[in-house]
Amino acid sequence: MPIVSSPAQFAASEFDYVIIGGGTAGLLLATRLAENLDVSVGVLEAGEPLFNEPLIDRPANMGFAEGNDKFDWMIQTVPQKGLGGRSLALARGKGLGGTSLLHFMGMFRPNEDDLNALGEFSGGKEGWDWKEMLEYMKNSEKTIPPTFSAENGKRIGVDVDLSGKTHGTTGYVKKSLPNWFATSHAAIIQAAESEGIKRNVEPGAGNNLGVYTTWVNVDTADGHRRSYPALDCLPHASDNLKVLCGATASKICLEKNESTGLQVSHGVEFLHNSDKSQTFTVNVRREVIVACGVFQTPQILELSGIGNSEVLEPLGIETKVELKGVGENLQDHLLVPMLFETDPSSENADVIQDSEAMGRDENGIPESIPSPTFVFANKDHIRLDIDKWNTSVDETKHASSPGYADQLTVLQKFYNSTSHPIVELIIRGGHQKLPPPLPLPGRTVIGMGAVLSHPLSRGTVHVASTSPTNHPLVDPKFLSHPSDLSVITKVVQTGLRLTRTPPFGDIIKGMMFPPPQMVGGGDVHVLPLNETRWEEDEEKVKMWTQMAAITVFHPVGTAAMGTREKGGVVDGELKVWGTGNVRVVDASVIPLQMSTHVQALVYAIAEKAADMISSTWKV
C-alpha cells in the first residue's frame, strides 16, 4: 500500500505528477499514471484512510455515514431562497476515496446524447462523445456476472450483454447486480409500463430511458462496497506512487513563463494534520492535476490566483490567471422525498434487515444492497406542457451569457426529445437515511424520490477566506429558474400517479410523507390515497417541494470544459486556460448535468485523462 505518513518525506520528493485529491477520480487517475514505472506520482489527500469501517464498507449501511464528521466534510449550502431559506447538507467524503465513500453505489451510464453533447463544449477536441467515453467507462470496470437466472433477470427487468461489447471486465472498479429485490420491484415495472414507460433491460448501451434497476459497486465475493478505488487500485500500485493523507493543499505555486505567457507550476504548497502551523512544498516536474471535487476544486484554483479578480482581490489574493468561469455553473440534481406505507405482506428492505434474505457476515450485518427501482422519464411521460417550457427557455436565452445560452440550446433538444429522460423517480422498497426521520415500528414502507435531471438553475462556489481549511461558500441557487419548479412538480405528480396504478397501487396502503396534515388529510398518520388527490393542486406540490427538497449529491460544472470566452475553465484536454501544466480531472469539468447519476462518467473522465496526459508526455 503506497500510503506514506511523513509530510516532510513526501515534500522532499519530486514527482512527475502531483494530484491534489485522492478521491473518486484522483485515485483511479494516479493508479493509471503509475502503471508506467518510468514516472512518479504523488497524491495529496486531505482526509484520512478509512479502511475497515462498517458504515462505509457495508452496503446496507449506505447513507448512515453522511452527517458524521468522521466521514463527511459537513459542507452546507448558503440559505436557498428557492427552498424557503433552508440550507442543505452537501455530503462530501472525508477520507481516501472521496465521496465514493458515501454515495449510494449506483453505476449508471449516461444517455448517448448526454455524452455526444460534451463535444459541443470541447473546443473541437475529438473524443468527447458516446463512442469513446463508452470505452473509457468499460476500461474502469470489472463487471461481476449476475448470479440469478436469465429468466429471473427478465422478470426483474435485466437482460445484460456480458460479451464485453457493453460492460468492462478488466478495470479496477467492481460492479455487480443486486442479489435481492423487494416485492415492489416487479410491481413498479408493470405499473410504469401501464403508464407508457417501457421496461429497459439494458440501460447501459446508450439509451437510459425507461424503468429498470442498475449495477452497484458491491463485490459479491465479500459483500463489501467497492465504489472507492482505494480498495482496488492502491494494492496494485508500485513504489512510484505515493499517497499522503491528512494533507490539505493550500496553493498551486505558479510562475509566468515569459516566452509563452502561461502560468506554469513547479510545486504545490500544503498543510498537514500533524502540524498545521507548518507549510510544506512538494515539487513537480511535469503537471499538477486538481481532483478535489466540485466544491474544493474551484477553491484551490482561486487560492492559487486562478479565477475572477472580483472574487480574489477583495481577499488579498493576487490574480495570476483571470478566469471568470471558476466556481460558476454549479448544477445538481434536486430530489423531493415521499414515503408510503405498504401492505405488510410486501417484503422489502425493512423486513430483511432482520432476516437472512440478504446474507450476513460474521457480525450479522447484511452483505447486499436492496436495489431501488429507477424510472427515467421524458416530457410525455410526465405530461409536461413543452410549448410553455420552450417559451420560458427562449425568454431566458435572450438575457443569458453566451455559454449558458449554448447550454440552453442543448437542453431544449433534450427536453423536446422522446428518447431522452429529463426526470427520474427513485423508488426503494424500505426506508433509508433520507427524510423523513419517522419512527416506523411494525410498518413496511416504500420511499420515493422525484428528481429533476436537467435543471436550468445555475449556482456558484467561491472562496470565503484565504484559509484552505475553511469551506467555500456554496450557493446552488436551487429552483432559481422558474421552469425547474414547474418540471419537478410534474415529477411528483407522476410518482403519485404510479402509486395508484396496479399492481404497484395494490400494495400501497397510504401516504405518510408529506404528513397528511400538510396536504389536507386531517390528523392521521397514514392517508389512504383513495381519500386524496392533493397532487392535482400544483401550488400544494410546489409548496411541498420548497419545504422538503434535498440534493441527490451529484454536483457538476464548477470548472467546466468550454472555450475561455464563453466561461470555460478547462479546454478539451482538461488543461486550465492560461496555465501550461495544470489540469482538472473530476466532476467539476462536466459542463452540463447528465440525465443520470455521474459516478461512472467520473471514472471514465479519469481514464481518459490518464491517456491524454501520457500522450502529452509521450509515455
Distance CA 71, CA 65 (A): 6
What distance in Å separates the CA atoms of residue 144 and residue 153, rounded to the nearest whole number?
15
DSSP 12-45: HSEEEEEEE--SHHHHHHHHHHHTSTTS-EEEEE
Beta strand spans in 527-587 (E): 550-551, 582-584
**Cell numbers given for 176:** 455487480
Closest by CA to 82, choosing from 550, 493, 473, is 550
Cβ neighbours, 10 Å, residue 161: 12
Output the CA–CA distances (angstroms, integers) from residue 287 to 41, 254, 361, 574, 614, in the order listed: 10, 12, 44, 12, 11
Phi, psi (5° rounding) for residue 26? Answer: -60, -45
**Which DSSP letter does residue 458 get?**
-
Q: 558 a known binding residue?
A: no
Q: Are 370 and 429 in contact (CB under 8 A)?
A: yes
Measured CA to CA in angstroms, residue 46 lies from 81, 366, 592 at distances of: 32, 31, 28
Give the 3-state secondary structure of residue 179. Answer: coil
Task: Let me know: does 296 contact 590? Beta carbons within 8 Å.
Answer: no
Integer Cα distance of 395 and 438 in angstroms: 42
Give the Cβ contact number of residue 424 at 10 Å: 23
Residues 6+ apart with CB under 8 A from 401: 566, 567
Helices (H), 357-444: 386-398, 402-416
CA gap 364, 65 in Å, rounded: 19
Q: What phi, psi does 448 have (nearest 5°)?
A: -135, 135
How many Cβ atoms from other residues are within 10 Å of residue 14's Cβ? 14
List 167, 420, 481, 554, catalytic entry = 554
Strand ranges for 329-437 from DSSP E? 334-342, 373-377, 423-429
The radius of gyration of the chain's CA atoms, rounded to the nearest angstrom, is 24
The answer to whether 597 is a known catalytic residue is yes
Give DSSP secondary structure letters for 521-574.
Answer: --S-SSB-GGG--GGGSHHHHHHHHHHH-EE-S--B-TT-BS-GGGT-SB-TT-
554 is catalytic: yes
**The dihedral sign for the CA sequence 36, 41, 45, 50:** positive
Q: Binding site for FAD: residue ranges?
A: 99
Residues catalogued as catalytic: 554, 597
